[in-house]
């Protein structure tokens, strides 16, 4: 059968586009760290937090084609900024705990003022091994599984994974000053609707990867359970904010498309509209 030049070009475009998109997403975009900056408005009673800077990283899935250089780049930016606290929103691994060691070696270089705090992801709970908390602790990360830490002007609270663990909000905040503002970490973003605490100025989450692969004019092709209502970005409910990061790593396929790895830097700001 003789194929015309026009027909051949049409076939190449049809079959070649997905291959080219996969190649771009795998070889280029998933290695390209996007540093995003978002202002988080404060209720007026918490204006003393104006300027507080939080870095959010997560969804490393380091056993799935994790890149040390990508983590090292993020750590360098955090240290140069500098930020006041880092919150790691979980899913350090997909299922192979051996990946914790190289990941934690890179994370151990973080130097935020109040410290680095981490919560568990569903994958960390499903494939739990003591190496996860032990190596995080050795790297200087305070793992918060239903635990809160008083940092002076604010508290940081971490909930266990909703999908893979046993979160307990009341227990987590029971000893905190009733007037103190809370920054919380909870892996699954849709949990933002599951409680109401006027002290929570900010919840940070991950889990969705922002979809990881996004179609032009459509958005994420796939979103996980407990991550479908709030897939990515800044959401607000009364005086509380939710920020969902796209995360850094990849799951299932070593590809990101229209959804690059993210280091999110959030700055608390007095709300000028209030
Ligand atoms: Fe997850």
Q: How far is the CA of 206 from the centre of ligand 1 (A)?
A: 7
Q: How far is the CA of 59 from the centre of ligand 1 (A)?
A: 7
The two tokens of residue 202 are 């900010």
Q: Which fold has domain 5-270?
A: Purple Acid Phosphatase; chain A, domain 2 (3.60.21)
Q: How far is the CA of 183 from the centre of ligand 1 (A)?
A: 20
Sign of the CA dihedral with 172 first, then 161, 224, and 116 last = positive
User: How many other C-beta atoms lie within 10 A of the C-beta of residue 90?
Assistant: 30
With a cut of 90, say whether residue 270 has pLDDT above it: yes
pLDDT band at 217 (very low <50, low <70, confident <90, very high): very high
pLDDT band at 210 (very low <50, low <70, confident <90, very high): very high
Phi-psi region of 67 (alpha: psi -120 to 50; beta: other; left: phi over 0): beta
pLDDT value at residue 29: 84
pLDDT value at residue 24: 77
Tell me the pLDDT tens digit for each residue of 52-93.
999 999 999 999 999 999 999 999 999 999 999 999 999 999
Q: What distances in angstroms separate CA 261 from CA 10, 213, 214, one per listed residue?
A: 33, 11, 13
Domain borders along the chain are: 5-270
The secondary structure of the chain in percent helix, strand, coil, rounded to multiples of 5, reads 30, 25, 45
Q: What is the pTM of this model?
A: 0.93
């Amino acid at each position: 059968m003789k194929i015309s030049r026009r027909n051949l070009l049409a076939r190449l475009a049809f079959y070649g586009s997905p291959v080219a998109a996969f190649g771009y997403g795998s070889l280029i975009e998933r290695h390209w760290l996007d540093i995003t900056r978002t202002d988080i408005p404060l209720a007026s009673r918490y204006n003393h937090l104006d300027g507080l800077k939080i870095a959010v990283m997560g969804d490393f899935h380091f056993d799935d084609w994790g890149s040390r250089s990508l983590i090292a780049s993020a750590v360098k930016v955090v240290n140069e900024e500098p930020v006041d606290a880092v919150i790691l929103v979980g899913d350090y691994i997909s299922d192979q705990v051996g990946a914790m060691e190289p990941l934690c070696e890179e994370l151990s270089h973080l130097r935020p003022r109040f410290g680095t705090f981490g919560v568990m992801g569903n994958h960390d709970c499903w494939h739990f091994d003591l190496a996860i908390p032990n190596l995080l602790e050795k790297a200087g990360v305070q793992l918060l599984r239903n635990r809160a830490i008083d940092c002076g002007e604010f508290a940081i609270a971490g909930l266990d994974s909703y999908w893979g663990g046993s979160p307990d909000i009341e227990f987590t905040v029971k000893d905190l000053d009733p007037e103190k503002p809370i920054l919380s970490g909870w892996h699954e973003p849709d949990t933002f609707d599951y409680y109401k605490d006027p002290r929570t100025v900010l919840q940070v989450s991950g889990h969705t990867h922002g979809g990881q692969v996004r179609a032009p004019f459509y958005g994420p092709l796939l979103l996980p359970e407990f991550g479908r209502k709030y897939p990515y970005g800044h959401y607000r409910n009364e005086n509380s904010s939710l920020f969902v990061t796209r995360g850094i790593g990849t799951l299932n396929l070593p590809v990101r498309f229209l959804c690059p790895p993210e280091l999110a830097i959030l700055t608390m700001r007095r709300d000028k509209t209030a």
